Amino acid sequence: MNKKEAKERIEKLREKTEYYAKKYYDDDKPEISDYEYDMLMVELRNLEKEYPEFKSKDSLTQKVGGHVKEGFEKVTHEVPLQSLQDVFSLEEVDDYITKTNEKAEENKIKDRKYVVETKIDGLSAALEYKQGKFVRGATRGNGLVGEDVTNNLRTIKTIPMELKEKIDITVRGEVFISKKNFEKMNKEREEKDEELFANARNAAAGSLRQLDSRVTAKRPLDIYIFNVQKIEGKKFNSHFEELEYLAKLGFNVNPVRIPCNNIEEIEEAIKKIGREREKLTFDIDGAVIKVDDLKFREILGTTAKTPRWAIAYKYPPERKETKVKDIICQVGRTGVITPMAILEPVRVAGSTISKTTLHNEDFIKEKGLKIGDTVVIQKAGDVIPEIVEVKKRKRTGEEKDFEMPKVCPVCGAEAVREEGEAAVRCTGIECPAKLYRNLVHFASREAMNIDGLGEQIIKQLLDRGLISNMADIYSLTLEDVASLKKNGTKFAENLINAINRSKQNDLYRLITAFGIRHVGTKASKVLAKRYKTMDRLMNVTSEELAMVDDIGPIVANSIREFFLQDQTRDLIERLKQAGVNMEYLEEESGDNRFEGKTFVLTGTLEKYTRGEATNIIEKFGGKTSSSVSKKTDYVLAGEEAGSKLTKAQNLGVKILSEKEFEKLIK
């Protein structure tokens, strides 16, 4: 890798890690597993080490990845709440201990003891006490500034409001939800048809960061204290001694703390925690190795992000064996039919897993998976688990092959897999699984342009059973719509008027509104202009369609499959009965001044939207394209035109300003 490539990769890694850190720390909705995130950080750290000229204080290798949520008061931590340097092998642990012991020898430190603790998978918090009374609590935030969550922390029963000694102390702990309570909480949410929490860590983080402490009080939060941040009037020699004192004060201290004297004992402690993690009542995401001697800690010091006196050993992604009881298919909102494995329930990385996606039929074939197989699943923290191995040696002969359905399991319409794609899709326009999305598109500005019929109104209409397909929109009454809003008469009048106006739309808008795969506004205009009526378009062959400019064989097959469906023909008949226009209305201008010319639009125009400018070009016989090439005749450039303008200049393509464009269309 050369310097240029290294710089580009570093920038890409920083962008990725910032995004995933925000989803994890700020939104409590991680999108990748802990392991995948850790591997990105390892790659970034190694590249920054190899190319120090590209190192930056803004990199997540140099800071803690969290921010203060809007609505909370900020708290500046007197002693920073740092994160730990992660390692992923016992060799790295050995290397760390060896170097640390060498440092101890240099500084004539005789006590070279360590403490190995469980790394609890929760949300870090600092608790502040004055004269033994709890006065304030805050989240870690970015390590320097956190969120004041005092009232929320007061709802946690294991946090003492008053200590057994009148002392000024700030401690650090991890807020979590036990395995048992997490399962119970998710079961209750399932019974209420509420969204389930992905895992206990996110449930705990989301609960602690509620703006309303009454919500927090209903969640079964717990805490383990694992460090003294600051203390007045007392001195300790060792970390282990501190922990024992914290327990005497009344704190709920991390129960797994193993004193070790050498590398061998440290390795055994790590392995023991790994073996027994299933027996723990709480989830962990590693083991922490800490220098026990507090004076030695001061000598070792810290970096801007991490202490040099501790590291975190991360266990490999947890894997478990289970059986595939069945494979069912689910239909997504876009019509994609996804196979799902129904598993014998097994607990992996903090969650009980009873099903997992199989992505598509190619994935099933690659794995050689059958119904009844014993499989290995992996869930490295926070995402949906995946089957990583099929134990074919454990087959009994009773296993069954699986085939993707030929029809949609929800609506019975034909299920198709297009050439070059992995996904199988439902072709039914009225399929309940994708109805909401289809209705939103149908009413949208680029389609039927029904002003006022937005996402929330469509959801309300569906929830109340007032519509169940696109044609039902035209059966809505003033009373139906007015019932959606308090004092909604005026709103209802406006929406009914907009619905009635949409009946007079040009044919191309209705074609666009159907959401036929691969058919956008541009292709819809071509089809409307070519075939003039819906009836003609419905009955044209795919061979003929493929010969039309800007259509081609793939789009032609998609159009033909759509119009062959009974659902489509029934819908069109109902729309006809409702009075929706089925004919091409746009008058031929007779002026083809742009015939054979291709335009590319870039930047923001002052007087026209992109759609309006496109309509004008097409009215005069021209075409628009999304990319610049040698075949492009004009690039219409507005404000903040980007790379397309640069490419046009390099190719010598004629560039038009908005004023020059207006001269051409007069």
Q: Residue 653's pLDDT band (boundaries 50, 70, 90)? A: very high
Determine the Cα–Cα distance for residues 560 and 541; give it in Å rounded to an integer.
7
Q: Which residues are catalytic?
A: 119
Q: Which of 651, 634, 626 is nearest to 594 (CA)?
A: 634
Q: Residue 341's pLDDT band (boundaries 50, 70, 90)? A: very high
> How does DSSP assign 36-88, residue by residue?
HHHHHHHHHHHHHHH-GGG--TTSTTSS----PPTTSPEEE-SS-----EEE-
pLDDT at 316 over 50: yes
For residues 419-437, average pLDDT = 86
* pLDDT value, residue 63: 56
For residues 520-548, average pLDDT = 91
Determine the Cα–Cα distance for residues 537 and 556; give it in Å rounded to an integer.
11
For residues 311-333, average pLDDT = 89
Mind listing the pLDDT tens digit for each residue in 234-246? 999 999 999 999 9
Q: Which of 577, 558, 593 is nearest to 664 (CA)?
A: 593
What's the mean per-residue pLDDT of the chain? 88
Give the range among 32-36, 142-146, 345-349, 652-656 with minimum mean pLDDT: 32-36
Q: Identify the structural domains of the chain with CATH numbers, from first to last.
A: 3-62 (1.10.287.610), 85-313 (3.30.470.30), 319-394 (2.40.50.140), 427-577 (1.10.150.20), 598-665 (3.40.50.10190)
DSSP 60: T
Amino acid at 508: Y
Give the range among 387-391, 409-413, 458-462, 588-592 with minimum mean pLDDT: 588-592
Determine the Cα–Cα distance for residues 615 and 624; give it in Å rounded to an integer.
10
CB atoms inside a 10 Å sphere around CB 218: 11
* pLDDT value, residue 382: 44
Determine the Cα–Cα distance for residues 584 and 144; give it in Å rounded to an integer.
64
* pLDDT value, residue 381: 46
Beta-carbon contacts of 524 under 8 Å, excluding residues fewer than 6 positions away, are 508, 509, 511, 512
Residue listed under structure tokens 């802990």: 34
349 neighbors 201 (Cβ within 8 angstroms) = no
Q: What is the pTM of this model?
A: 0.54
For residues 328-342, average pLDDT = 88
Give the range among 46-55, 63-72, 433-442, 496-505 with minimum mean pLDDT: 63-72
Higher per-residue pLDDT: 54 or 324: 324
Determine the Cα–Cα distance for residues 297 and 79; give it in Å rounded to an integer.
15
Mind listing the pLDDT tens digit for each residue in 73-103? 899 999 999 999 999 899 999 999 999 999 9
pLDDT at 269 over 60: yes
pLDDT at 69 over 60: no
pLDDT at 115 over 90: yes
Determine the Cα–Cα distance for residues 211 and 214; give it in Å rounded to an integer.
9
For residues 461-481, average pLDDT = 93
Mind listing the pLDDT tens digit for each residue in 586-622? 765 567 889 889 999 988 888 888 878 888 898 888 8
175 neighbors 204 (Cβ within 8 angstroms) = yes
pLDDT at 404 over 60: yes
Mind listing the pLDDT tens digit for each residue in 342-401? 999 987 766 678 888 898 889 999 999 999 999 999 875 445 688 989 999 999 999 999
Give the range among 218-227, 252-261, 585-594 with minimum mean pLDDT: 585-594
173 neighbors 224 (Cβ within 8 angstroms) = yes
401 token code pair: 């092959």
* pLDDT value, residue 26: 63
pLDDT at 534 over 90: yes
Out of 2-6, 86-90, 206-210, give the one with best mean pLDDT: 86-90
β partners of residue 326: 342
356 neighbors 330 (Cβ within 8 angstroms) = no
Give the range among 173-182, 204-213, 299-308 with minimum mean pLDDT: 204-213
DSSP H helices in 218-325: 239-249, 263-276, 294-300
Q: Residue 332's pLDDT band (boundaries 50, 70, 90)? A: confident
Measure CA of the first residue to CA of the last residue in the chain; give whole Å.
Answer: 55
